[in-house]
Structure 1
Amino acid sequence: MIENKQSFYLVHEQILPEALLKTIQAKELLAKGSVKTIHEAVEAVGLSRSAFYKYKDGIFPLNKMDKERIITISMNLDHRSGILSKVLALIADLEGNVLTIHQTIPLQGMANVVVSVDIARMAKPVDHLTESLRETDGVHKAIIIGQG
């Protein structure tokens, strides 16, 4: 029976084969828009297209992976016009990027809202965000229920 478990390794770039390093370079050229096609990217770095396709989905720069930070916040909000807008504006002001929003139907004048937020660009700590949310008029609870 074959197991579907994937393993990942942190490897210094000095010991990586040239094809893997050139694959990263080609992906960076494409991401920056320096080239328009894969053909142009592999030609620019001196890599075959087959090697690029072989490695492209398996190698990523560590700094890219490190920057992807997502938290999930659960809040109880008053059922009043503009409260959710204030919350979203606050998150945006702190450089958070809202990825998903789920809101329950209000019961007894309050709704539960769960938001997933990319916090990679936030300069202030996450505690500042949750504290600011709690201090917002109409927000009765703001807690982090997940982080990844």
Structure 2
Amino acid sequence: MADRYYVVREDILPEALQKTIQAKEMLASGKATTVHEAVDRAGLSRSAFYKYKDGIYELNEMTQERIVTIAMDLEHRAGVLSSVLGLIAAKEGNVLTMNQSIPLQGYANVVLSVDVSQVAGDASDLIEALKGQSGVRKAAIIGRG
């Protein structure tokens, strides 16, 4: 069965859904830095937040899903790719695809497609963080979709 969507006025939503929206807004704006802090401020349980967070969005938020293609040159060392993926996850990015070349002259080219719709700030902030990561020689956005 295909997903079905509805437009519903906020005041008739159950309280848990309204508080989920509040918690997501706090996280997106930086007013809360962790899920624990956001749900605590909103007066919501973490389990309710995780139950509803991927199913409720403001109408304009639905159109803001952003996918960027990032190209990087990574040192051929144990743990470099893992730390890059960890950084992206910590910034709330979601890796959709990944291609890596065979390392030549100590570096491998890695191209990632990343959903950055949940990343706080602009995708360029993520690129700057990647450039500062140990083992990353170059990082750039090469496409948006």
TM-score (norm 2): 0.59
- Note the C-alpha offset of 1:124: 2.1
Q: How far does the alpha carbon of each residue in 1:53-100 deviate from its partner, in whole angstroms, 9 at most, with x for none? A: xxxxxxxx9636513210000000000000000000000000000000
Distance between the aligned counterparts of 1:134 and 1:64, measured in 2?
28
2:90 to 86, 89, 93: 93
Alignment of 1:1-148 (within 5 A): 27-28=4-5, 63=60, 66-148=63-145
TM-aligned CA deviation for residue 132 of structure 1: 0.6
* Bigger Rg, which one: 1
The runs of 5 or more residues in structure 1 that have no matched partner are: 1-25, 30-60
Q: 1:135 to 1:76 in 2, by over 3 A?
A: same
What is the total number of aligned residue pairs between the two structures? Answer: 92
* Seq. identity, %: 55
Q: Distance in 2 between matches of 1:105 and 1:62?
A: 43
Deviation string 1:13-62 (CA, Å, 9 cap, x unpaired) is xxxxxxxxxxxxx9126xxxxxxxxxxxxxxxxxxxxxxxxxxxxxxx96
Q: Distance in 1 between matches of 2:65 and 2:132?
A: 27
Asked if the contact 1:94–1:124 (Cα under 8 Å) also holds between the matched residues in 2, the reply is: no
Q: For residue 143 of structure 1, give the secondary structure of its aligned residue in structure 2.
A: strand
Q: Which residue is equivalent to 1:34?
A: none
Question: So what's the TM-score if we normalise by structure 1?
Answer: 0.58
Question: In the TM superposition, what is the alpha-carbon distance from 1:135 to its structure 2 partner?
Answer: 0.6
Unaligned ranges ≥5, structure 2: 7-57
Q: Which segments of structure 1 move beyond 6 Å, counting only runs of 4 or more?
A: none
> Within 2, Cα distance between the matches of 1:94 and 1:103?
22
RMSD in angstroms over aligned alpha carbons?
Answer: 2.0
